[in-house]
Copies of this chain bind each other. A is one copy, B any other.
Amino acid sequence: MTTIAIAGFGKIARDQHLPALRDNRDFELTAIASRNATLEGVDNHQDLDALLSAVPALDAVALCTPPQVRYAQAVAAIEAGKHVLLEKPPGVSLSEVEDLVRRAKQQGVTLYATWHAREAAGVEKAREWLSTRRVTGVDIQWREDVRQWHPGQQWVWEPGGLGVFDPGINALSIVTRILPEAFFLREATLEVPENCQSPIGATLEFTDVHDTPIHADFDWRQTGPQTWQITVDTEDGKLVLDSGGSQLSINGERIIDGEDVEYAGLYRRFAELIRKGQSDVDVAPFRHVADAFLLGRRQSVEAFIE
């Protein structure tokens, strides 16, 4: 049994990490570090440093804090000899993620940069089906309502918060997993509210080695039904991942209509990595986001008022 603490007990920790840990027999949640929240039945601490001092026998830490503070916490946990699970994105800069990889290796602990969307029910089957096919076009529609999913979360608009790339990186984590070829950005437009630092909408044009057009629309202004859909055209027909990857259709036939199993999958994988003494840090989705900030043309749009 691996004892684990959660740092940052906000929405994602309560909605996803807590139930996933309760259903997983490899882990025992023994402590929480949170400034504002507490959880009955475990040790509660104001911050991670206090927790690490108070619970020296702890094996692992799941970091569910906003990305802007995650690096310092990850360093503290790694230096204390803990295995570390990082919520996505793994940091606020590519260079700091490189530094965490180096530190985890030096300390001999597992570092797992999670991409929860990759665990959605249809993703592995989609990857398998596409692995032997020639892709001719990709369309990514990732449109949701920021007010619904990030209520009161000012950090998403700050530098390092990524704006609409916070959900968009989920799409990128799926597409980098299922497409048989690497791809890269050719141009991008970022729509930035005049009172924010981060984009509320983005249009991205990628290509791969075969000049396949790969188009993405990310939008945080969609009210009503939410859209998390990836359509892949191939020489053998059309594959559609819908509902964030949990539904898979091929040539109009529904192959998979799964439940939300993402965080269960993450903790299974974390347990496996710890058992094998391995780390898993794939920066490709985050690198694409950095490329979009580097190469994107910014347009100022209407102020965002929550």
Binding site for B on A (CB under 8 A): 92-96, 98-99, 102-103, 159-160, 182-185, 187-188, 197, 209, 284, 287-291, 293-298
Q: Please give, as numbers and ranges, the residues of chain B lying within 8 Å of A182 by CB-CB distance.
A: 95, 98-99, 102
Contact of A95 with B185 at beta-carbon distance under 8 Å, contacts A197-B298, A298-B197 already known? yes
Tallying the copies of this chain within the complex gives 2
- A291 vs B103: C-alpha distance when bound (angstroms): 20
- A183 vs B102: C-alpha distance when bound (angstroms): 12
Contact of A99 with B184 at beta-carbon distance under 8 Å, contacts A94-B287, A197-B298, A298-B197 already known? yes
In contact, B92 and A295 (Cβ under 8 angstroms): yes
Q: Please give, as numbers and ranges, the residues of chain B lying within 8 Å of A96 by CB-CB distance.
A: 184-185, 291
22 A-B contacts, Cβ less than 8 Å apart? Answer: A93-B185, A93-B291, A93-B294, A95-B183, A95-B185, A96-B184, A98-B287, A99-B182, A99-B184, A99-B209, A102-B182, A103-B209, A159-B188, A159-B295, A160-B294, A160-B295, A197-B297, A287-B290, A290-B290, A290-B293, A293-B293, A293-B294
Q: Please give, as numbers and ranges, the residues of chain B lying within 8 Å of A187 by CB-CB distance.
A: 159
Q: Please give, as numbers and ranges, the residues of chain B lying within 8 Å of A290 by CB-CB distance.
A: 94, 287, 290-291, 293-294
Query: Which of A103, A159, A294 has the most chain B CB atoms inside 10 A of its CB?
Result: A294
- A226 vs B297: C-alpha distance when bound (angstroms): 30
- A289 vs B93: C-alpha distance when bound (angstroms): 10
Name A206's closest neighbour in chain B (CB-CB): B95
Q: Of the candidates B95, B284, B295, B297, which one forms a contact with A291 in the assembled complex, judged by CB atoms under 8 Å apart?
A: B95
Q: Please give, as numbers and ranges, the residues of chain B lying within 8 Å of A159 by CB-CB distance.
A: 187-188, 294-297
Contact of A295 with B93 at beta-carbon distance under 8 Å, contacts A99-B209, A209-B99, A290-B290 already known? yes
Query: Which of A183, A188, A288, A291 has the most chain B CB atoms inside 10 A of its CB?
Result: A291
In contact, B93 and A184 (Cβ under 8 angstroms): yes
Name A181's closest neighbour in chain B (CB-CB): B99
Query: Which of A183, A184, A298 has the most chain B CB atoms inside 10 A of its CB?
Result: A184
How far, in Å, is A83 (CB) from chain B's closest CB?
Answer: 20
- A293 vs B296: C-alpha distance when bound (angstroms): 10
Closest 8 A/B residue pairs (Cβ): A95-B184, A93-B291, A290-B290, A293-B293, A96-B184, A293-B294, A159-B297, A290-B294
Name A286's closest neighbour in chain B (CB-CB): B294
Q: Other than the known A95-B287, A197-B297, what 6 A-B pairs have Cβ atoms closer than 8 Å?
A: A95-B182, A95-B284, A98-B182, A98-B287, A159-B295, A290-B294
Q: Please give, as numbers and ranges, the residues of chain B lying within 8 Å of A289 by CB-CB distance.
A: 294
- A209 vs B106: C-alpha distance when bound (angstroms): 13
Q: Please give, as numbers and ranges, the residues of chain B lying within 8 Å of A185 by CB-CB distance.
A: 93, 95-96
Q: Of the candidates B94, B103, B184, B298, which one forms a contact with A98 in the assembled complex, judged by CB atoms under 8 Å apart?
A: B184
